[in-house]
Amino acid sequence: MSNDSREALMVGRRSDGSIVRRPLSPHLQAYDMLQMSSLLSILHRASGVALTAGVLLLVWWLVALASGPAAFAAVQWFLGSFLGLVVLFGVTVAGWYHTLAGIRHLAWDAGYGFRIPEMYRSGRMVVVGTAVLTLLTWVFAIIAWVS
Amino acid sequence: MAEGVKRLQTPLGRVRGLGSARSGTHHWWMQRVTSIALIPLTLWFALAAIGLAGAGYEASVAFVANPVNAVLLLLLAGVTLHHLASGLQVVIEDYVRAEGVRLAAIWGVKAACLVLALFAAVAVLRVAV
């Protein structure tokens, strides 16, 4: 038997005196976290937390711009580095996902889109929309960069 | 008073006192208000960021110095950091159990977000004004 005190309440004895572990309700291990409804919900929270990085970059960029050319060159160097580009790409994906999934949540708050087929359709629209907007953002950003 | 109710405060008094959380739906409501405000601000910022890709110091200063861009940046920073603080607060409330640690984490997040908002505002104003 486990030493976990929480399991003490779940331990019983058979009529012959031998110990038996009573069954528990299904919990996370029995719950499919990769179904669209829960996965998109988890990703909405995760993308929101991840966007903290984007906020920090924006504040750094603004403060550097106000501080002068040397500080600005440092932030531009980071944003153009491999790590900086990876972070910027992640912020782009998280930003568009959080925006689109947020609009989906606002529609739910207003009482729309609760039927299961609608829920799956709006979920697919959020995923496809995130991919399309991320691609468009980077295509236009690279065009602006080289021109 | 309904049978079985064990509080002397009337339901109306409880509602006027904004319930057991003492803030009513204010937190939930402000998350919605800031999300709606962030939709147009995010779209504007995405276009602005695309335009600023690879821009040098002079071009970036000129962009922020434009009064319309400065006001939109101030709005973006203020609304975003309000939204971020309230969002992270909910995450902490969900996952941090110990009362003291939870309170310290929430206050820490709110203080950090306020400081970041002030940095952003001072930076924008210093360039624009």
The CATH number of residue A114's host domain is 1.20.1300.10
Q: What gap in Å lies between CA B15 and CA A16, rounded to an integer?
A: 56
Residues in chain A with CB shorter than 8 Å from the CB of B91 are 45, 48-49
DSSP A30: G
Nearest to B81 by CA among B55, B116, B119: B116
Residue A105 in domain: yes
Domains and CATH numbers, chain B: 26-128 (1.20.1300.10)
pLDDT digits (tens, 9 = 90+) for A63-75: 999 999 999 999 9
Q: What gap in Å lies between CA A65 and CA A63, rounded to an integer?
A: 5
Among the partner-chain residues A51, A63, A145, the one whose CB lies closest to the CB of B119 is A63
- Domain membership of residue A100 as a residue range: 29-146
Q: What gap in Å lies between CA A137 and CA A54, rounded to an integer?
A: 15
Q: Helix-strand-coil percent breakdown of chain B, rounded to 5?
A: 80, 0, 20
- Please provide residue B87's backbone torsions phi and psi, each rounded to the nearest 5 degrees: -70, -45
Residue A18 in domain: no
Best residue in B38, B116, B124, B127 for a mutation probing chain A (most A CBs within 10 Å): B116
Residues in chain B with CB shorter than 8 Å from the CB of A45 are 91
Residues in chain B with CB shorter than 8 Å from the CB of A52 are 84, 88
pLDDT digits (tens, 9 = 90+) for B39-92: 999 999 999 999 999 899 999 999 999 999 999 999 999 999 999 999 999 999
Q: Which two tokens stand for residue B23?
A: 């803030």
Residue A4 in domain: no
Nearest to B32 by CA among B90, B108, B107: B90
Q: Give chain A's contact residues with B (Cβ, < 8 Å).
A: 45, 48-49, 51-52, 55-56, 58-59, 62-63, 65-66, 69, 72-73, 95, 99, 102-103, 105-106, 109, 137, 140-142, 144-146
Q: Coil, helix or strand for B19? A: coil
Residues in chain A with CB shorter than 8 Å from the CB of B42 are 95, 99
> Which residue in this structure is represented by tokens 């499919």?
A32
Q: What gap in Å lies between CA B58 and CA B3, rounded to an integer?
A: 73
Residue of B nearest to A51 (CA): B84
Mean pLDDT of A26-45: 82
List helix spans (H) across chain A: 36-67, 69-80, 82-109, 116-146
The residues near B17 (Cβ < 8 Å, ≥ 6 apart) are: B9
Q: What gap in Å lies between CA A22 and CA A13, rounded to an integer?
A: 9
CB contact under 8 A, B53 and A141: yes
* pLDDT computed for residue B44 by the predictor: 98
- What is the CA angle A76-A77-A79, rounded to 5? 60
Residues in chain B with CB shorter than 8 Å from the CB of A146 are 54
- Please provide residue A12's backbone torsions phi and psi, each rounded to the nearest 5 degrees: -130, 180
The domain total for chain A is 1
CB contact under 8 A, A65 and B80: no
* pLDDT computed for residue A26 by the predictor: 63
* Confidence at A1, pLDDT banded by 50, 70, 90: very low
Residue A98 in domain: yes
* Confidence at B6, pLDDT banded by 50, 70, 90: confident
Q: Coil, helix or strand for B79? A: helix
Q: Would the CA dihedral through A6, A7, A10, A13 be positive or negative?
A: negative
Residue A45 in domain: yes
Nearest to B59 by CA among A9, A37, A145, A7: A145
Q: What gap in Å lies between CA B36 and CA A55, rounded to an integer?
A: 18
* Confidence at A30, pLDDT banded by 50, 70, 90: low
Residue A69 in domain: yes
Q: CA B96: distance to chain centroid?
A: 20
Cα separation values, B43 from A29, A115, A127, B74, B83, Å: 39, 29, 18, 15, 16
